[in-house]
Amino acid sequence: MFIVVVGGGGVGASIAEYFSKRGDRVVVIEKKRELCDRLVKSIDAVVYCGDVKSTRLLRDAEVEKADILFAVTGSDSVNLWVASVAKAKLGIPKVVVRVNQRENVEKARSAGADVVVCLEELAAERLIEAVVQPDYRFLLRREGFAVAAVRVPPDSKLVGASTSTLREKGLSVVAVLRGSTWLAGHEDHVFESDDEVVVAGPEEKVSKLIEEVFE
């Protein structure tokens, strides 16, 4: 997925680090130079240092292509503005907004936010949990090779397909976790909803499988 995080403070940095480590494409927009410098050194993300209200910055960052946008600056008014632009003008599918004051929760929803988290009540981790289930995660990525664990959604094309389908794509099935039971990957199994499949192979093919599973 393509994740945009507006605000590079403690909350924004935690969100960006989580998605970056998961293997997603992450862009962070932050106004303060010192925070930008810190983010560049600590997180595998593209950092744009500037005012989020700059049309040119939004265009350069390709924000309109985001799958999820987090508006998590320390200013409720800025986050509300970002939400309205992200949803009404850019058409971003999912917009998550942080607000500091309870009275701004409804304002954020009116601005177009799909998920509103009030930090008087919730911590940064709940912002992530609000939109993410453990759908997939890269366990290893090295020199063009990757190992990933992928959960099979109920509406996925994988439901009803067999493990041989993945082998035909040039992937190795390490194992299938069904509930509390591990099924050997070298055997033939038919995938069921919520199976967790551990696959290995060329990183390009693993990434393509993830795209197909969640398209």
pLDDT digit string (tens) for 51-99? 999 989 999 999 999 999 999 998 999 999 999 999 989 999 999 999 9
Q: In which domain, by residue range, is 140 found?
A: 136-213
Residue 116: pLDDT above 80? Answer: yes
Answer with the one of 114, 129, 144 that is the final residue of a domain: 129
Same domain, 140 and 124: no
Same domain, 98 and 10: yes
pLDDT given for residue 57 in this prediction: 92
Answer with the one of 111, 129, 147 that is the final residue of a domain: 129
Same domain, 114 and 153: no
Number of domains in the chain: 2
Same domain, 162 and 141: yes
Same domain, 63 and 105: yes
Same domain, 6 and 90: yes
pTM (2 d.p.)? 0.61
pLDDT given for residue 121 in this prediction: 52
Indicate which CATH number applies to the domain containing 200.
Answer: 3.30.70.1450
Residue 32 banded pLDDT, cuts 50, 70, 90: very high
Same domain, 35 and 53: yes
Residue 124 banded pLDDT, cuts 50, 70, 90: low
User: pLDDT (tens digit, 9 = 90+) per residue, 179-204?
Assistant: 888 888 788 889 998 888 999 999 88
Pairing of strands 172-178, 181-184: antiparallel
Answer with the one of 129, 152, 175 that is the final residue of a domain: 129
The whole-number average pLDDT for the span 169-174 is 90
pLDDT given for residue 7 in this prediction: 94
